[in-house]
Structure 1
Amino acid sequence: MTSETAKRLADLGLELPAPARPAANYVPFVVTGNLVYISGQVPLAPDGVKFIGKLGREFSIEEGQQAARLCAINVLGVLQAAVEDLDRVARMVKLVGFVNATPDFTDAHKVINGASDLITDVLGDTRGKHARSAIGMGSLPLGVAVEVEAVAEIA
């Protein structure tokens, strides 16, 4: 039987990746109680890391949203690995988005909408709407434009 969330993913034409191997001394997720903490996810595609550079210099807001969307796809891939069936997700509690940006770039919140919109599209309004922070940074690992971490509640 196909789950509701799997149907939404299929309707969106999305296939979630398996979690990437950690690049340092951490794990992709930690489950404690009914919460899943997901380590920061970068814009990693099957053919490698994408969106290397800064918002406000190499990338526009729209391109940053694409990078954030790719990060969110990876967040959901890790979450699926943690809980097996995304229908177990009671709610996405919080996203934290980090935007590698020039000092004068003030639209980090618009960039991270790319991640928030995707999470809501996949999980629906009730389970997908979340608290959020969008933070401009001077640099990020691997020089990527965006990184997104998350906390989800599971049933």
Structure 2
Amino acid sequence: MPASRPPVTITPIADEAGDVQHCEINVGGVVLIAPFTDDSSTLKAIFEDQFGFELTVDEVMTVTQASQDQLNRECNRLQAVLMELPAGSVARVVDTYYWLDADNGLLWDQYLVIGAEQGPEGRDISCIGPLDTEELWQIAEQVRDWLKSPQVITADPAWLLLD
């Protein structure tokens, strides 16, 4: 371990559209790419192997938060698409369902039986987690893929609001 810990700078790197793709971790001019496809344990191990000291919890969480921020961007896009569709439209994105509440807030659930006696137990989109960096990124990619070819299933709007 170095006698004194050098400064560590973490920068989210976005593409031309403003979508964050990964983070760069800079230590004394040496840059390590932190892909969102790696979990935090993998990132910490790679970092320690390369630099000989550990990332702090806050530094790891900076990378995870950047992945979360990108998921939020994708969910905002999904929400905008659903707002343009008829009430009761439900996006099925792999194994997760998304729909709008009465105030056009985005809700989600992993289990949805349309028309069941009890309405869905939708959760606000801000309640995804706690998840690690790569899990957040995977959901963001799934939403991004859905946005390329949006397909919905339809439910009674009143039923969607039951709980």
Both structures adopt the same fold (TM-score exceeding 0.5): no
Q: Which has the higher contact order (CA 8 A, sep 6+)?
A: 1
Which structure's CA Rg is the greater one? Answer: 2
TM-score, normalised via structure 2 length:
0.31
TM-score, normalised via structure 1 length:
0.32
